[in-house]
A and B are shown apart, each in its own frame.
Chain A
Amino acid sequence: MTNEGESQTETWVESKGAKYPFAYDPGGKLQKELGVGGIPAAFLVDPSGKIVWEGHPGNLNASVIDKHIEGALTRPIYSWDGSAKKVKQAFLKNDFAKAFDAAAKLAEDDAFGVEVEGILRGILDGRMASYAGALERGDILSAYEGYKGLAKGVKGLPEEDTIKAALKTISKDKGMKAAMKGQEKLAELGATELRRHKDCDEVLAQLEKLLKSHPEGFVNVAIQAKIADVRKTRGKLQR
């Protein structure tokens, strides 16, 4: 029942006196990825991009914030100008190698550059750890896409070899390739619009089939979760 447009949202935000930045999550994509069930829901993300807390916003404790605010940028990226702008431009293009170079130059005559170098290191370490974790969990697609997205931007950095090796392993391992294919199929089925029982039944049949080809592991669990999800949707739909 989305008949409330942007103008209503802006009026609502204004009436609440909220000064926070706000935005729209198109198609509820992020919400789905984060598994948000009830509203309101909140996530605290640390300076390296890692989720460090989740829950009802009213339950967020000041000590959690104190613990994670240390090391956060004193000047947000969007406000960077002058020499820092070069770091920003490289970072926003995912080019860490260039961003590190620009930060090192900045650090020569501005202490802020040292802070920026530290933050970039934290972000890159965080991403690398997250892809390694995904690989370990069997979430091959996330690992593959993550590494692939970073590959061009780490030329000459120690991460370059790690990423090359990981991508090689994934492309040579039959099991991993099969898992990734299953994940891609699952994503495709997950994007199907479910309007009637018939749509659900068709997707369910394909999911059951897919489940048979992935009898265990991360992909199996993900397919089972999707099956439960589609069944739930089916229950809510009219014939």
Chain B
Amino acid sequence: MMRNLFLAGALSLVLSSIANADKVGQQLPPVVLEGLSQTQAESYEEFTGRLVLIEFFAYW
């Protein structure tokens, strides 16, 4: 199983919001990524200052 992340600068999903607020309010820890693709950014830091959606996905 490969686990990856999606980073999106903007998005438009509308559904009810049920947050389990475990990490909410905390600073995102330093992020080290490999193989960042489909962007000019060379590291996660270059997304700083934007509103970022990080999604962990997997496929089987």
Chain A interface residues toward B at CB < 8 A: 1-2, 4, 6, 8-10, 12-13, 18-26, 28-31, 33-36, 39-47, 49-65, 68-69, 72-73, 76-79, 88, 91-92, 119, 122-123, 126-127, 129-130, 133
Contact = CB atoms under 8 A, between A and B. Distances in A.
A45 B13 contact: no
13 contacts: A23-B7, A34-B29, A43-B23, A51-B26, A53-B17, A54-B19, A54-B20, A61-B17, A63-B17, A65-B51, A76-B41, A77-B45, A92-B43
Contact of A20 (B8, B23, B24, B32): B8
Top 3 nearest A-B pairs by Cβ distance?
A130-B27, A21-B39, A61-B17
B57 to A, nearest CB: 5
Nearest to A47: B49
Contacts of B52: 44-45
Nearest to B2: A4
Interface in B1-32: 1-29, 31-32
Contact of B29 (A9, A18, A33, A41): A33
B1 A2 contact: yes
A20 B37 CA distance: 9
Contacts of B45: 77, 91-92
B28 A23 contact: no
A21 B41 contact: yes
Contacts of A31: 3, 56
Contacts of A44: 51-54
Contacts of A20: 6-8, 38
B10 to A, nearest CB: 8
Given A20-B38, A42-B56, A43-B23, A78 B49 contact: no
A127 B14 CA distance: 30
A83 B5 CA distance: 32
B17 A60 contact: yes
B31 A30 contact: yes
Given A21-B41, A25-B56, A42-B56, A62 B13 contact: yes
A36 B56 contact: yes
Contact of A72 (B16, B17, B46, B51): B51
A43 B13 contact: no
Given A65-B11, A78-B39, A73 B3 contact: no
B56 A52 contact: no
Given A23-B36, A62-B13, 9 more contacts: A4-B1, A20-B8, A21-B39, A41-B55, A43-B55, A53-B19, A53-B24, A55-B18, A78-B41
Given A18-B6, A50-B26, A62 B14 contact: yes
Given A1-B1, A23-B5, A26-B32, A59 B17 contact: yes
A55 B26 CA distance: 15
